[in-house]
Structure 1
Amino acid sequence: MKRLKDMKAAKVRAGDTLGTRMWKKVVFLVSIGRNAIVVIIGLVTAYLLDDHQPFIITGEVVPGLPAVRLPQFTAVVNGTTLSFGDILEDIGSGVAIIPILSILGTVAIANAFCGGKTLDAKQEMYALGFCNLLGSFVQSMPVTGSFSRTAVNATSGVKTTAGGIITSVLVMLALAFLTSHFKFIPKASLSAVIMCAVLFMVEYEMVAPIWRARRLDQLPLWVTFLACLFWKVEYGILVGVAVDLALLLYSSAIPKINVSTIKKEDGVKAAYVLVEPCTGLFFPSVDYVRAAVNKAGISTAEGSLTVVLDCCHLTGLDFTAVKGIEGLCSDFQKRQQPLILANASPNIKKSLACLDPHIKITSTPEELHSLLRCVSLRNEVTATCDQSAAVSARDGCSHNTQQQLCNGAQQQCSVCNGAQQHCRDLQR
């Protein structure tokens, strides 16, 4: 019956005769009124079999509208008066779960039927809270949105909130004049209506796209489903949230890090090793990133080549992250290996500069290029000095001769001296 209105044969066309249009309208009304039809058929059947009743029926329903009065904070059950604390203890975790499910359901329905318009979830929660607050004065059940009723309204052509007024009037008329007939409604027919309404809400077709998009997302999906199925719905939701949070923390604690070797212009010798964390740096991932950068400095950069840590994804640093970078800089200083923090935003640069005034931080590609050139020339000078010292030691030169050779090597390149000065200016 749900599918009838979606069949091509039930769609009204421009060339249809009046009789055909009327017939298609009847099919449409049968499709959207399926719940009422099933309940009425069950009611009539139970009424005709009154003397030989095979069903468990609803029973007597108190007629009339509920009285308007202050909410009751006590209840009498089997002659025992329960206090407000006893009621809360009996409800248990439902005190928190019911509002959460109510909000989630209402916002999800609004998203599904907003037609691409902007949704203000705060306003939805205000409306929901206002309805529950007023409902407490007429002994109402907890109020939330209904997927099935909203879908029926949408397919029926409802465009405004006046549809809610019509529904309210029908409910009040039913409570005032039809409650005596509710007695014969079989509970099985009500159960069937609920089961069929919920059955079509199961989005089984989403399993395959989730698997193709990110397989790890199947874990919270199936954990939540199985926990709700074999345990309780409220506990299943909490378990699913906990699993999802654990996956989120795991991805934050172990971010993806790309390590690559950048060649010089000749395309043969390595210029530096680039380390690129793909996410921000906060408390959970500090130790992992520090270990990864150190590993890249020792293995890929062989403990001597310059390592550049790309900070373009660092949108902010907490205190633990700052201390972790401080420890990372200390590790490289002990190995006398250059470490440069590149593409740092002004806020990141300000946070890191307070660690050590000599830390190498750049914000633009030009600054990075100048600093790399400075480090390269400095390494060349150091290598020349070491080579001169080795030659002089081999030839039996004195310490003064070695120092003169080293000084001469340092003075060979005026460009080197200018680059070193520029490097110191950048550091300042």
Structure 2
Amino acid sequence: MARITSSVLVLFCVKLASLMDPACVIDLECEECVPDNMPLVTSHRAANGSVRVEDGDEVTLACGGGKFLAYPLRESLGAVCRGGRFLAHPDGALRHLLELGCQESVFEDVLHEVEHCAPPLQGRAVRTRAPGSGAPRHLATLCFDADRAVAAFARAGNAPAGLALPPHSEARAPLSLLGNLQQLFDARLRADARRLFSDDARLERRLRGLLRPERVALAAQALTAAPLLAPRYFDGQSARAAGFEAGAVLAWRGVAAGNLRHLQRDVARLLRAAPPRALDVYAGTHGVLSLRAGAARRPLFLKPGRFPVPQYVWTVVHDAAARRALALVLLNDPFVAVSEIRERVFCESACGRAAWLRDLRENRNYEVPAQGLVFCCPVHDFAAVVAEMPRRALADVPAGDAGMLVDSYA
């Protein structure tokens, strides 16, 4: 009896200790829970969007090119988890994670050379730099149409070290008159995008103001900004690489929360299941959505000729080694009439054959326009219509069924 009582007491003490000394959980998908400029966690891997550091364990944080706000002379910092907070090594202070931010973001969106992206389109790269490392890690590239303020295409992969890029210079724009003007224009463009995309209420006011003279009925639909490359495409600590304004697309809320989200979850699952370095994901936009305004149609731009609401949002998944690919095209038009669907779908859809489309195919929701109707194309048929997809990137894929990526890696 005494032994049982002792065991119960020990178990109670362990439970009590675990309640008194909680782990430090860094929720990377919660913007309010982490610093504005979240440091990289170089000692622990993220799982399901968060990093868990047990009480008493040490975590290593890094600011890369930036420095810590609380410790301006340091690029990296060791801290021990103590009761949900962090005991920082430099001075022994017990700090909340929100106090351990960097002076600037460890991710940067910069002008950059991008394959298959020729002027007047503008190449960009999203990259990060580990402390003491000379070469940056490229997480994604974009080909951006600065005249229309929309990405032609973006690219990510599932290589642990980031995208493998052709040899290129890492130098930024030269300090010349042309280079300085380009940087100034780039900063203005991003500021405009940030103002438009940061607040759904602001987007709704602008949209209703634009459409007021035509008395266009939107029912319960409203616009939001969605990422072309979803946070789930990156490992947990790099999810913020998906949040830059250059990679955002205007979508209807029902579409963004519906089939765009389902499509991106399926692609993310395929990326995780595939062997490292096997897959490239391209995503982009095509066309400009026109809304019926009386007897005519009104192309939808949030500024004159700029910031279009795309008619299509597309994703191409490409396995170069297996010479297989599949194009998934989402119709960003919840108002499309049944009689118009046939002319909007420009290939015979193969979504029903793609075994890896689990979320998208559930209950056949991919056929519902209010959630963003989706159809799946052989990539050469797709690229014949969608000029934004660089056809040279798909040159190794056979035409027809032989080149269709429909099987899962699991």
Q: If the length of structure 2 is used for normalisation, what is the TM-score?
A: 0.19
Larger Rg: 1
- Higher percent of residues as strand: 2
Using CA pairs under 8 Å that are at least 6 residues apart, name the structure with larger relative contact order, 1 or 2: 2
Q: If the length of structure 1 is used for normalisation, what is the TM-score?
A: 0.19
- Higher percent of residues as helix: 1
